[in-house]
């Protein structure tokens, strides 16, 4: 458990996934790698992909999209029909009267105003428990409205890259914790929640509920930047929300688990992953155990689970087994 936490925190802060020390892998895992050496051909990999495509239904993606739309639609319905089920917006809300506060937004408010009230404490504790159980960055892929738009923009970006009309540019993942610190310091020294002004998550949530505003121009600019220049740039390299919930996620019993036994190491999972570094363990020789949990920087989007042709990646709940 300690190793998982330290590895997760290191990746969240931008470090490269650690590689197993020479001789540290268990003999069972070494034997699995030896048996595969030269045994798997390109034909085997393509056959597995072909078979999987016939049966794959992208069930986790469909569930995720439905959940994301339903949560955000509940905000809209509650506001327009005044049913008081889910009031407010994603940054701060009340669910049937019980306060909930986005952890990053709450931190910004506390730093800016140097004051904390009871309702904010209740909201922080509630949301921390919720995402500690569900997996911190599950918020990103299952609730955040910008994530859905960025996902669709990513499809367009990849199509343009395939057509060689644009190139994908990457940045160092260490930029994200730097931005986290910058936004925190700006709130502390200016007395203003600067990040909340430019956060596409908050902008879209408020626009859906209360109507569109000029801030949507900023969201449009971000999406264009991601379509034509850098795939998922905001979520990967800037957004401090991912850092906050990634840290919370190290305590979560809900994880994606990798099993090395049947893996063909074809890399399909890493191609679809928004945070592909967490799946470096699927590269041949990079796992530290036969069964290993994917680090907490994972958004639990389920794309890798859907695409894996050998059922080597699955959602699990610690102590309960596979979902």
Q: Which two tokens stand for residue 263?
A: 């893996």
Q: Which DSSP helix (H) or strand (E) runs through 48?
A: helix 42-55
Q: Which two tokens stand for residue 289?
A: 């155990």
Interaxial angle between packed helices 59-80 and 145-162, expressed in degrees from 0 to 180 and rounded to the nearest 10: 140
Reported as half-sphere exposure (CB side, CA atoms, 13 A), residue 133 has a value of 5
Nearest in space to 235 (alpha carbons), one of 179, 309, 278, 286: 179
Reported as half-sphere exposure (CB side, CA atoms, 13 A), residue 206 has a value of 15
Under 8 Å between Cβ of 167 and 178: no
Residue with tokens 């197993």: 20
CA dihedral (209, 215, 216, 222) positive or negative: negative
pLDDT at residue 146 in the model = 97
Q: Which DSSP helix (H) or strand (E) runs through 80?
A: helix 59-80
Spans of all domains in the chain: 1-323
**Count of helices and strands (H, E) across the chain:** 16, 7
Under 8 Å between Cβ of 140 and 196: no
CA 277 – CA 300 distance, rounded (Å)? 14
CA 12 – CA 148 distance, rounded (Å)? 21
pLDDT at residue 39 in the model = 67
- Would you write out the chain's pLDDT as a tens digit for each of its 323 residues? 678 899 999 999 999 999 888 778 888 998 888 887 766 667 766 666 656 665 677 899 999 999 999 999 999 999 999 888 999 999 999 898 889 999 999 999 999 999 888 888 999 999 999 999 998 899 999 999 999 999 999 999 999 999 999 999 999 999 999 999 999 999 999 999 999 999 999 999 999 999 999 999 999 999 999 999 999 999 999 999 999 999 999 989 999 999 999 898 888 999 999 999 999 999 988 999 999 999 999 999 999 999 999 999 999 998 888 88
The torsion angles phi and psi of 231, rounded to 5 degrees, stand at -60, 120
Query: CA torsion, points 318, 30, 264, 268, in degrees to nearest 10?
Result: 60
């Amino acid at each position: 458990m300690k190793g998982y936490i330290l590895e997760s925190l290191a990746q969240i802060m931008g470090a490269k996934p650690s590689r197993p020390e020479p001789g540290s892998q268990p003999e069972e895992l070494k034997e699995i790698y030896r048996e595969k050496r030269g045994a798997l051909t390109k034909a085997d990999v393509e056959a597995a992909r072909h078979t999987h495509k016939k049966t794959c239904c992208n069930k986790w993606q469909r569930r995720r999209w439905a959940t994301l739309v339903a949560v955000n639609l509940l905000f809209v319905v509650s506001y327009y029909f005044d049913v008081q089920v889910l009031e407010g917006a994603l940054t701060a809300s009340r669910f049937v009267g019980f306060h909930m506060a986005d952890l990053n937004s709450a931190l910004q408010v506390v730093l800016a105003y140097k004051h904390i009230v009871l309702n904010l404490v209740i909201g922080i504790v509630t949301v921390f428990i919720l995402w500690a159980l569900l997996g911190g960055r599950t918020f990103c892929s299952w609730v955040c409205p910008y994530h859905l738009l960025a996902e669709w923009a990513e499809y367009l970006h990849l199509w343009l890259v395939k057509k060689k009309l644009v190139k994908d540019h990457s940045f160092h993942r260490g930029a994200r914790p730097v931005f986290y610190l910058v936004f925190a310091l700006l709130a502390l020294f200016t007395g203003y929640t600067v990040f909340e002004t430019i956060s596409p998550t908050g902008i879209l949530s408020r626009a859906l509920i209360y109507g569109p505003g000029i801030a949507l121009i900023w969201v449009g600019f971000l999406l264009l930047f991601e379509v034509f220049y850098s795939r998922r740039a905001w979520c990967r390299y800037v957004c401090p929300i991912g850092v906050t919930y990634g840290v919370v996620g190290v305590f979560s019993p809900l994880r994606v688990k990798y099993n090395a036994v049947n893996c063909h190491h074809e890399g399909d999972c890493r191609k679809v992953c928004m945070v592909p570094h967490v799946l470096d363990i699927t590269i041949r020789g990079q796992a530290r155990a036969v069964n290993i949990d994917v680090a907490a920087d994972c958004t639990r989007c389920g794309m890798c689970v859907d695409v894996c042709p050998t059922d080597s990646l699955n959602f699990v709940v610690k102590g309960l087994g596979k979902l």
